[in-house]
């Protein structure tokens, strides 16, 4: 029986057996969108950061001055980098002793036109808990880890888990990050997925120094 089927399969012409018109789609290779800093414009101090924040155990630390991205595993007690300005864990954001505020601006152009950088309430990080292990969720067990989190910066993405699948809504707002050395940065989170629409990949546009 198998031989007969094999012969028929050959007769069918295997060229179309795996589909046609594959050229309609984009092929995204893992190297197509490298992680880290890119699209850097030295003239207006802007650029884009693309990070992989899928791992629940890791914080991804961003050093805006030296344009360095580094990670540290919470459960392995990895040490934080010596110098960093803000960090991302999944969709949580924290600062390195800084403060943040959410503006009403949707673009950097609007922000620059206003010149309104510091006119507002800045909020510092607070001690919170972040999820480090989702695998026990079906048994009602989630593992958390104590960590500082900036509640204002973390508003960039609202994840409504009251429905399945969760609804992800980005604020689309520009955030001002004020470092502990009083330097300012503008942050605009533009995506939480990669080109293949896999969640946990975050794209951030920035201006530093502002």
Partner 1 sequence: MNILRFHTIFLFIIMLISIESGFAQDHNSEADSLEIYVPEEVKMLETVVITATRTPKLLKDVPVVTRVIEARDIKNVDVANVQDLLQAELPGIEFTYSMNQQVSLNMQGFDGNSVLFLVDGERMAGETLDNVDYSRLGLDDVERIEIVKGAASSLYGSNAVGGVINIISSQIDKPWLLKLNARYGTHNDQHYGGTIGFQKGRFKNTLNVQYVACDAIKLPNDGDYGTIYAHESLNARERLTYSYKGLKLTGRAGYFFRERESQQTSHDRYHDFSGGLKGDYVFSDKDDIMMSYAFDQYDKSNYSLTSHKDVRSYSNVQNSLRALYNHSFAKKTTLTIGGDFMHDYLMTYQFVNNGSHEQNTSDAFTQFDWAVTEKFNVLAALRYDYYSLSDLSHLSPKLSLMYKFKRLSLRASYADGFRAPTLKEMFMSFDMANIFMIYGNPDLKPESSHNFNVAAEYTRNSYNLTVMSFYNMVANSITTVWNTALNGMVYENMSPLTISGVDCSASANWDCGFKARLSYVYTNVDYHENELHLSSTRPHTATVRLEYGKRWPNYGFNLALTGRILSSVTCDEYTSLTELTDTQRVTYPGYTLWKLTLLQHVWRCFDISATVDNIFNYVPDYYYSNSPATTGTAFYVGLSVAID
Binding site for partner 1 (CB under 8 A): 1-2, 4-6, 8-9, 12, 16-22, 24-28, 33, 54, 56, 134-135, 137-140, 160, 163-165, 167-170, 190-193, 195-197, 199, 203
The two most distant CA atoms of the chain are separated, in Å, by 78
CB of 119 to partner 1, least distance (A): 28
With respect to partner 1, which residue has the nearer C-beta, 33 or 183?
A: 33
CB of 179 to partner 1, least distance (A): 28
With respect to partner 1, which residue has the nearer C-beta, 35 or 168?
A: 168
- C-alpha 191, offset from chain centre: 7
With respect to partner 1, which residue has the nearer C-beta, 115 or 140?
A: 140
With respect to partner 1, which residue has the nearer C-beta, 43 or 138?
A: 138
CB of 17 to partner 1, least distance (A): 5
């Amino acid at each position: 029986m198998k031989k007969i089927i094999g012969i028929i399969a050959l007769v069918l012409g295997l060229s179309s057996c795996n589909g046609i018109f594959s050229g309609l789609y984009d092929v995204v290779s893992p190297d197509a969108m490298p992680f880290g800093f890119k699209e850097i414009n030295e003239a207006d101090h802007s650029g884009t950061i693309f990070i992989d924040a899928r791992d629940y155990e890791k914080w991804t630390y961003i050093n805006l001055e030296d344009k360095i991205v580094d990670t540290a595993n919470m459960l392995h007690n990895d040490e934080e980098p010596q110098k960093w300005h803000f960090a991302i864990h999944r969709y949580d954001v924290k600062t390195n002793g800084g403060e943040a505020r959410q503006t009403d601006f949707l673009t950097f152009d609007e922000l620059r036109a206003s010149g309104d950088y510091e006119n507002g309430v800045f909020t510092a990080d607070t001690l919170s808990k972040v999820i480090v292990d989702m695998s026990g969720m079906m048994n009602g067990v989630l593992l958390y880890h104590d960590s500082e989190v900036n509640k204002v910066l973390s508003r960039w993405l609202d994840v409504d888990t009251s429905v399945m699948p969760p609804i992800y809504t980005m604020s689309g707002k520009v955030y001002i990050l004020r470092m502990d050395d009083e330097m300012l940065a503008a942050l605009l989170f533009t995506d939480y997925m990669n080109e293949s629409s896999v969640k946990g990949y975050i794209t951030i546009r920035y201006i530093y120094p502002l």
